[in-house]
Amino acid sequence: MILSPRSVKLTTRSGTEISRTLPHRYIRTIGAWCFVDHFGPTTQSDAMSIATHPHTGLQTVSWLFAGEVEHRDSLGSVQIIKPGELNLMTAGRGVAHSELSTENSTVAHGVQLWTVLPDRDRNSAPLFDHYGELPEFQRGDLKIRLFIGELFGERSPARIFSELLGAEIYISPGATAEIPLKTGNEYGTLLVEGDLSVDTAEVPLKSLHYSPAGKSSLQLSTKNGARIIFLGGEPFPEEIVMWWNFIGRSHEEIEEMRTRWNNEDPSIPTFQAAVEGRIPAPEMPNLRLHPRGNVTPPLI
């Protein structure tokens, strides 16, 4: 199944265009991956300029192909991320952060990913981890940077709360290669650059190929070379409510999270942000939010 991207604005401040493939109408999660945004490449100097905003019940996974971004948060963390490095923020019961492209960012290009925390961990204390050194290796025609989980016997040191895989993979021009899969897991292949076919299915640029559990391998092929983000994990068993920057399990929980943030509750402390301002949570929708998981799409 090919998940086509939809275009959204990153912020009203910068107006940077984002290609969002997850969540999808039918596919809400791939493993615990619940949010896939791809931005750039762009030479816009303030491409990443996001004022203070909150998160709950999830992890943010920041990965760059080009540029630099400074992260600050309510834990006191201040960290610049560069290509090949990983910023991993575990929101738990609540955290706030800001993000700003540095003066060294002549080109901004990357992905912003979220994973949903299992019920047992979603109200834990927030955490921030930066990983400056991660596994980089080559397997045949594949050059791999592994930022989450395990692949080809290599393992990332990144802190995770369910079985997950996340990797940047470059495929050489004219190559056909196989990636081994765990049959109990599902997978997503996001085409970032170049051209790609997955098991003979052509994947348009910035689209996400979804593979349900049950397969033991995927065949990737390219004519001119391709750069992908490869995601995977055990199917997430819990239904979730995902609204704005919050993930909960009920409408009432989301209302409580929104109220805490907009009332500047001390459970999410203030901090000296990299960008001026504080983004308020929008009005609740005029309908009741219901927990959801993946659904089987209709036959076409």
Catalogue all structural domains in the chain, each as residue range(s) with its CATH number. Answer: 2-233 (2.60.120.10)
Rounded Cα–Cα distance for residues 135 and 158 (Å): 11
Q: For the chain, what percent of residues have pLDDT higher than 70?
A: 96
Rounded Cα–Cα distance for residues 134 and 130 (Å): 11
Rounded Cα–Cα distance for residues 252 and 124 (Å): 19
How many other β-carbons are positioned within 10 Å of the β-carbon of residue 199? 14
Work out the mean pLDDT of the chain and round it to a whole number: 94
pLDDT, mean of residues 88-116: 94
Q: Is residue 298's pLDDT more than 90?
A: no
Q: Is residue 65's pLDDT more than 50?
A: yes
Q: What is the pLDDT of residues 195-218, one digit of tens each?
A: 999 998 999 999 999 999 999 999
pLDDT at 103: 86
pLDDT at 48: 83
Burial category of 25 from C-beta neighbours within 10 Å (exposed 0-12, middle 13-18, buried 19 and up)? exposed
Rounded Cα–Cα distance for residues 56 and 76 (Å): 17
pTM (predicted TM-score): 0.94
pLDDT at 297: 63
Q: Is residue 300's pLDDT more than 50?
A: no
